[in-house]
Amino acid sequence: MRGFIKESSPVTKFRRILVKLSGEALMAPDGYWLDSELLVGLASDIAKATQAGFEIALVIGGGNIIRGARMSAAGWIDRPTADSMGMLGTVMNSLAVETALNAAGVPARTMSAVSMPTICETYARQPALHHLEKGQVVVLAGGTGNPYFTTDTAAVLRAAELRCDAVLKATQVDGVYSADPKKDPGAVRYERLTHDEAIARDLKVMDTAAFALARESRLSIIVGSVHAPSSVTAILDGTSPSTIVAP
């Protein structure tokens, strides 16, 4: 079993990054669906990353508003409808993040897989690439635009389409562990894993479909904590702990 394998700042070779952030990470301590202070901090963090030369795309989940799979499991609404409602939640979060980024002086644009042209731009690959090449942060909303796919899978799909070097999965812990570190004090944090190892060990940091697509696309996944100060920048410059899942 691999553990703390030291390498010479492998993260710093990446330049175009897709950051995947859960909707729950945006929640206020009192349970309100958005934390304004957290949004300001996130925008400042992304600003530092862009100033350091990173090109950033973002995929934000909608779990702070609604979870389609959970609602469907309750039995009173079908899964495609519930997932469509979840996609709308990601648009709401993305617009909030776009607004915070623009207020921080970072040019940002929301693009949705679910077409709603009076609210934001509809996602298309070539315009998204153009925005990234111009130095804009692209906030990708609406998941894949289809039910039954998580925003983890959407993040890997968009990263592959937009020629990103890696997906940064910003989570509640500072990497991938052999067990839940909150429940098992003996849990080991991995420095590096392959996609096959992550799938075989059924590690829950991303769903299997996302890992499988990353493996097929030979796309690296970086897993780190969203709670550390300047977490995105620190993970990308190699100064904050993380796990790399790579071919």
Asked whether residue 102 carries a pLDDT value surpassing 80, the answer given is: yes
**Rounded CA separation 181/184 (Å):** 5
Asked whether residue 193 carries a pLDDT value surpassing 70, the answer given is: yes
Say if 151 falls within a structural domain: yes
* Model confidence, pTM: 0.90
Residue 181 buriedness (CB in 10 A; 0-12 / 13-18 / 19+): middle
**Rounded CA separation 28/34 (Å):** 6
Say if 143 falls within a structural domain: yes
Report which DSSP code applies to 216: H
Mean pLDDT score across all residues of the chain = 90
| Number of neighbouring beta carbons within 10 Å of residue 88 | 16
- Each residue's pLDDT tens digit, 58-76: 999 999 998 877 787 888 8
- Each residue's pLDDT tens digit, 197-218: 988 988 878 888 999 999 999 9
- CA 174 vs CA 2, 218, 224, 244: distances in Å: 16, 23, 4, 11
| pLDDT value for 73 | 82
Say if 98 falls within a structural domain: yes
- Each residue's pLDDT tens digit, 164-191: 999 999 888 888 998 888 888 888 899 9
CATH of residue 141's domain is 3.40.1160.10
Task: Decide if 121 contacts 181 (C-beta within 8 A).
Answer: no
Say if 1 falls within a structural domain: no
Task: Reduce the DSSP state of residue 123 to 3 states and report it.
Answer: coil
| pLDDT value for 227 | 75
Beta strands in the chain (DSSP E): 16-21, 55-60, 108-112, 121-122, 137-141, 166-171, 192-194, 220-225, 243-246
Say if 46 falls within a structural domain: yes
Find the helix packing angle between 151-161 and 125-133, rounded to 10°: 70
- Which of 142-151, 177-186, 190-199 is the least confident region? 177-186
Say if 9 falls within a structural domain: no
Residue 165 domain boundaries: 17-184+199-246
Q: What percent of the chain has pLDDT over 70?
A: 94
From the list 228, 2, 245, 19, the residue with the least C-alpha distance to 132 is 19
- Res. 10 pLDDT band, cuts 50 70 90: low
From the list 87, 89, 107, the residue with the least C-alpha distance to 98 is 107
- Overall average pLDDT of the 120-130 stretch: 98
Asked whether residue 5 carries a pLDDT value surpassing 60, the answer given is: no
Please count the structural domains in the chain. Answer: 1
Say if 35 falls within a structural domain: yes
